């Protein structure tokens, strides 16, 4: 089965995923894959598109969002801040260090969330090793957040399953609230996670981005075999999405973000508050190559639709 050809359009296009065989997926070397990304030869997919060609309600809301304005058009006018969230499952080895460092330089990352580092954070060593200005870890040590000197970062809430931050940097008209998540596999502990996330939901129309490993899917199309082992967990996730009002950004790249080499799932995603659309902010997400890892990194690009000068004057 041939994969769809790469597309270069002003606006994102949605390609029907019908008939895509993940067993035929070609593993591309990480550097080559990321080089193709840099050249903008992207394959566009979104697993909100069902096998029958219909679009689910959550994607229907997002398809007209400013989030789906082609980032290439915005980049020509405004600076873009780039983030990556990755469940790396161990950053103590040299190979993981090298890839994080390579991706930071290649994509000019301004901040990065690392999940399951499997080592204690030595902030002095890691900032120097990975090329960032500052690094923090949550109380469980399973979530790291590193950023450069262009960003002012304040921790608002620290829990074992998420790290809630307030970021300030000049291209945005106001502060950006970012929640990096790593949800538990246990459904009972994940239930606490949903409730805790709702507690940090901003009361005002601020810019809120929630991203990471949710360890949950929102429907059968988010899993390669289409079989729901725990339908209750799916209902709880969808209930959280409804109550929180968060919208799924969608993505560019491979359909699923995690695999155990038997099944594939979309466990990692980025959600945003509706105010992103209202304030003409632009966010795009790409699933980068997994290489030898079980999770793929999420590359996130943030920008504004207005000019940089207007953004500065709003502060």
> Domain boundaries in the chain?
22-313
Query: Picking from 34-38, 146-150, 192-196, which range would have the lowest pLDDT averaged per residue?
Result: 34-38
Top-confidence range, 172-181, 218-227, 243-252: 243-252
Degrees to nearest 5, angle at CA 145 with 44 and 29: 40
CB atoms within 10 A of CB 301: 17
Mean of pLDDT values over 238-261: 94
Spatial neighbors of 262 by CB under 8 A, at least 6 apart, are none
Hunting for tokens 């239930």 — which residue is that? 191
pLDDT in the model for residue 256: 93
Task: Find out whether 212 and 246 touch, Cβ atoms under 8 Å.
Answer: no
pLDDT of residue 279: 66
- pLDDT value at 182 more than 90: yes
3-state helix, strand, coil in the chain (%, to 5): 30, 25, 45
Lookup result for tokens 């990096």: 180
For residues 291-308, average pLDDT: 79
Tell me the mean pLDDT in the region 257-270.
93
For the domain spanning 22-313, the CATH number is: 3.60.10.10
Least confident window among 1-5, 121-125, 214-218, 275-279: 1-5
Strand order in the sheet with 152-159: 152-159, 162-168, 176-182, 207-213, 268-272, 247-248
Q: What is the pLDDT of residues 84-109, one digit of tens each?
A: 788 887 787 888 888 888 889 999 99
Q: Give residue 59's pLDDT.
A: 34
**Cα distance between residue 182 and residue 179, in whole Å:** 10
- Given a contact cutoff of 8 angstroms between Cβ atoms, the answer to whether 287 and 298 are in contact is yes
| pLDDT 10s digits, 68-87 | 333 333 343 445 667 778 88
CA 308 distance to own-chain centroid: 24
Q: Count Cβ atoms below 10 Å from residue 277 Cβ, excluding itself.
A: 19
The more confident residue out of 157 and 206 is 157
């Amino acid at each position: 089965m041939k994969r769809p050809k790469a597309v270069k359009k002003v606006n994102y296009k949605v390609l029907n995923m019908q008939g895509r065989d993940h067993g035929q997926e070609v593993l591309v070397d990480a550097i080559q894959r990321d080089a193709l990304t840099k050249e903008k030869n992207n394959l566009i997919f979104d697993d909100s598109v069902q096998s029958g060609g219909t679009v689910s309600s959550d994607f229907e809301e997002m398809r007209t969002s400013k989030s789906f304005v082609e980032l290439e058009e915005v980049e020509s006018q405004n600076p873009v801040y780039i983030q990556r969230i990755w469940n790396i499952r161990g950053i103590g080895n040299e190979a993981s260090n090298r890839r994080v460092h390579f991706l930071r330089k290649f994509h000019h990352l301004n901040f990065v969330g690392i999940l399951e580092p499997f080592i204690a954070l030595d902030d002095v060593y890691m900032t120097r090793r990975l090329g960032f200005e500052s690094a923090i870890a949550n109380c469980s040590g399973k979530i790291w957040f590193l950023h450069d000197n262009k960003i002012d970062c304040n921790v608002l809430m620290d829990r074992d399953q998420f790290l809630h931050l307030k970021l300030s940097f000049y291209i945005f008209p106001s502060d950006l609230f970012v929640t990096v998540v790593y949800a538990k596999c246990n459904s009972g502990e994940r239930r606490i996670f949903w409730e805790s996330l709702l507690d940090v939901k901003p009361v005002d129309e601020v810019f809120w981005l929630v991203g990471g490993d949710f360890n949950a899917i929102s429907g059968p199309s988010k899993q390669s075999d289409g079989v729901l082992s725990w339908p209750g967990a799916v209902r709880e996730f969808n209930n959280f999405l409804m109550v929180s009002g968060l919208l799924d950004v969608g993505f560019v790249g491979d359909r699923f973000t995690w695999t155990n080499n038997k099944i594939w799932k979309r466990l990692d995603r980025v959600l945003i508050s509706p105010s992103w659309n209202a304030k003409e902010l632009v966010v795009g997400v790409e699933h980068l190559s997994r290489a030898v890892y079980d999770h793929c990194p999420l590359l996130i690009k943030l920008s504004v639709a207005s000019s940089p000068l207007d953004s500065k004057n709003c502060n």
